[in-house]
Amino acid sequence: MDPARESRDIGGLTAEKSSELGKLQRQLRRAEREARQWKRVAETSEAVSNFSKKVMLQTQAELEETVKELEVAHDKAIAAGEELELRVQERTAELEAAKDDAERASQIKGQLLANVSHELRTPLHGVLSFASIGMAKVRTASQEQLAGYFQRIHDSGKRQLALVNDLLDLAKLEDGTVRLDLEGCQVPALISTLVEEMKPIAAAKRIRLKWRSRITLPVGMDRARMLQVLRNIVANAIRFTPDGTTVGIIASFSNEHLRICVWDHGVGIPEDEIDTIFEAFRQSNRTATGAGGTGLGLSICREIIHHHAGRIWAQNRTKQGAVFFVEIPATAEQQTTPQPSPQEDGAAPDSKTRDAA
């Protein structure tokens, strides 16, 4: 073979191989680039996957926390709804009670107007009637007859004045404008004076006034006001006690307080009235028959005792009659704040006790 031709053939093969080698190298480099790209894609995909998992975990935790918060809010809403319903019920009850109180106040006002009108009209009618009779018979009637007319006019006027004074007295006591004239008072002397004043009234019904006091020390009180209280209570006891029986008055010390009780042999206090007898313008159904007045007396008594920082209450006796208790501090230092009204510890086991202070 010709050496030159052989050399050309070898050169051609070398060029061809070189071309193929270059082509393979380019393919290899392209493959490497693609491999690197795929590697980056894989790394990115893995990072995205990890991030997605992390986000999902966080979202799930947040969702669970949100669910818990919603459950707590739901429970709170239910509790708030129940509390609101309870408040509505309480408010409704308060409004109903206020309505009842307003209706009772209106009823009491009506009773007040009726009672006061009647009590004012009755003595006024007596004054006018006997004045008219006196004027008509002034020239024909004897001096004794005219004196009788004037006496009845005087009695009717006193009765009307007493009612007006009671109304004014109660108003002043309730608004606090009354000031007590406190002094050291001997209790036996006080009760003795009371009994002497009430003897004529009791004698008219053959009622015996019985009293007892073992108190030797003076007690600070407004003597005139205390007499007013006891006079009212004893007068009521005489009024409702049968003829020929006894009304008792007992004074004693109890827990550094002066306690005066007045008992009788009457029919007692109706159970449905024992809570209201000290309210203004309240009358017992027995009083409504004409035995009593306007229902101001016991209310005035309550206010006077309240101003003494004391209390007054009533209860029925075990066998027959009622007993009224008046209690005030035994020393002036204690007469600064009204006393509370606990259940009376000296009541009979089967008696019903109520405080009215």
- 161 and 212 in a single domain? The answer is no
- 146 and 252 in a single domain? The answer is no
- 213 and 329 in a single domain? The answer is yes
- 146 and 189 in a single domain? The answer is no
Angstrom distance (rounded) from CA 289 to CA 302: 24
- 329 and 199 in a single domain? The answer is yes
Is 87 domain-assigned? no
Is 306 domain-assigned? yes
Q: What count of other Cβ atoms lies within 10 Å of the Cβ of residue 194?
A: 22
pLDDT tens per residue across all 357 residues of the chain? 566 565 666 556 677 777 777 788 888 888 888 888 887 877 777 777 777 777 676 677 777 787 788 788 888 888 888 888 899 999 889 888 888 888 877 776 676 677 777 667 777 777 888 788 888 887 887 888 888 878 888 888 887 787 777 777 777 777 777 788 899 999 999 999 999 999 999 999 999 999 999 888 899 999 999 999 999 999 989 998 899 999 999 999 988 899 999 999 888 888 878 877 887 666 665 544 444 555 678 888 899 999 899 999 999 988 888 999 999 998 644 443 343 333 333 333 333 433 443
Compute the Cα dihedral for 113, 115, 118, 120 and give only its sign. Answer: negative
- 313 and 226 in a single domain? The answer is yes
Is 50 domain-assigned? no
- 143 and 241 in a single domain? The answer is no
User: Which residue segment(s) compose the domain that 271 sits in?
Assistant: 183-355
Of the candidates 108, 118, 121, the residue with the CA atom closest to the CA atom of residue 281: 108
Is 96 domain-assigned? no
Residues in the chain: 357
How big is the chain by its Cα radius of gyration, in Å? Answer: 51
Number of structural domains, the chain?
2
Angstrom distance (rounded) from CA 9 to CA 169: 152
DSSP label at residue 285: T
Q: In sequence order, what are the residues at sequence separation of 6 or more whose Cβ sits closer than 8 angstroms to the Cβ of residue 305?
A: 229, 311, 312, 326, 327, 328, 357
Question: In the beta sheet, which residues pair with residue 355?
Answer: 313
Please measure the distance between the N-terminal and C-terminal CA atoms of the chain and give it in whole angstroms. Answer: 152
- 168 and 255 in a single domain? The answer is no
pTM of the model: 0.56
- 136 and 269 in a single domain? The answer is no
Is 72 domain-assigned? no
Token pair belonging to 82: 């129940």
Angstrom distance (rounded) from CA 293 to CA 158: 14
Q: What is the CATH number of the domain that holds 199?
A: 3.30.565.10
**CB 221 within 8 Å of CB 185:** yes
- 205 and 347 in a single domain? The answer is yes
- 221 and 348 in a single domain? The answer is yes
Q: What count of other Cβ atoms lies within 10 Å of the Cβ of residue 315?
A: 22
The residue out of 175, 195, 225 marking a domain boundary is 175
Type and span of the H or E element at 260:
strand 257-263
- 349 and 264 in a single domain? The answer is yes
**CB 118 within 8 Å of CB 91:** no
Q: What count of other Cβ atoms lies within 10 Å of the Cβ of residue 220?
A: 19
**CB 241 within 8 Å of CB 321:** yes
Is 57 domain-assigned? no
